[in-house]
Amino acid sequence: MISKRLKEKYIKKIEELKKSRNAIILAHIYQRGEIQDIADYIGDSLDLSRIAIDTKAKVIVFCGVRFMAETAAILNPDKAVLLPDKGAGCELADMATVKGLLAKRKKYSDVPVVSYVNTSDAVKAESDICCTSANAVDVVNSLDKDHVLFLPDKNLGSHVAENSNKEIILWHGYCYVHEKNITPKKIEGLKKAHPNARIVVHPECNKPVRDLANFIGGTGQIREYVKESKAGQFIVGTEDGIIHTLKKENPDKIFYPLETICKGMKKTTLEKVKISLERMEHKVYIPEETRFKARKALEKMLRI
């Protein structure tokens, strides 16, 4: 924790640098509360991808993990994309490799590849189309093939399979936050303590967890569900960073987190944002051939 005085100092400097650099700050909803508070936009991967395209800013400071900053750089070659902590990675994204994907493509030669945005730029470049947790079902259902290779998240893939007539070939990756830390036992314990609470979970959770849910959706969809719901209490089955925004948007409602943290998401701090803007540090670079191929897969997604 930093002192209130130092926090205010960092925020003031960040605001000055944003103006002088013509910069915009995008923050994923799993970021620390103080990072969400300084962001120009908070959202999920799909929201932030669209905002990155539309912004007139010359510099995008992406407070998230590497694959998100790479996505912004792929879609915005004329803008500088900064990742405040160059070590902010995603273990799920690391589970999908180009070597592994090419081997799968050889085995399933006529099967389209749908890559979750939680993948590297190089994996996106070898994919037919990308998706987010919010639009994965729509993306898969838009394809004209009966079989689809879906990577890297096996839980999101199985959720898609439950909502599609397509045969889904799963990659056996997972998000440790949702797979390991969010369990039926935890949810059932909270439900017992708070019987009137609605259960909302992310589709990266495994099936036994999803089967307990009143609502399954990406973070943006969870936000909308909570806003529109008449319920006053919610058990939230995703990374705890979302609670900060849910409380701000719904001050009259109560939220019960499952005390689960993404290490990569929490690497970003106010000091690192300040330093990144001061030095124009940790600029994300995508090789042109990779960027061109990956952009095609992302643009197909954005048209869905």
Which of the residue ranges 29-33, 224-228, 300-304 would you say has the lowest mean pLDDT? 300-304
The verdict on 222 and 298 lying in the same domain is no
Can you give the pLDDT at residue 240?
98
The verdict on 82 and 11 lying in the same domain is yes
Mean pLDDT, residues 38-48: 90
The verdict on 130 and 68 lying in the same domain is no
| Closest CA relative to residue 284, chosen from 52, 49, 71, 39 | 71
pLDDT above 90 covers a percentage of the chain that reads 95
pLDDT tens per residue across span 237-296? 999 999 999 999 999 999 999 999 999 999 999 999 999 999 999 999 999 999 999 999
pLDDT beyond 80 at 156: yes
The verdict on 105 and 238 lying in the same domain is no
The verdict on 9 and 76 lying in the same domain is yes
pLDDT tens per residue across span 182-218? 999 999 999 999 999 999 999 999 999 999 999 999 9
pTM of the shown model: 0.95
Phi-psi region for residue 280, left (φ > 0), alpha (ψ -120 to 50) or beta?
Answer: left
The verdict on 160 and 297 lying in the same domain is yes
Using CB atoms within 10 Å of the CB of residue 50, give its burial: 0 to 12 exposed, 13 to 18 middle, 19+ buried: middle
The verdict on 84 and 96 lying in the same domain is no
In which band, very low, low, confident or very high, does the pLDDT at 46 lie, cut at 50, 70 and 90? confident
Q: How many domains does the chain have?
A: 3
The verdict on 249 and 269 lying in the same domain is no
The verdict on 160 and 298 lying in the same domain is yes
Across the beta sheet with 113-116, the strand order is 129-131, 113-116, 147-151, 167-170
Here the CATH number for the domain that contains residue 240 is: 3.40.50.10800
The verdict on 141 and 77 lying in the same domain is no
The verdict on 83 and 97 lying in the same domain is no
pLDDT tens per residue across span 96-142? 999 999 999 999 999 999 999 999 999 999 999 999 999 999 999 99
Which residue range is the domain that position 124 belongs to? Answer: 92-174+288-302
Sign of CA dihedral 274, 245, 184, 139: negative
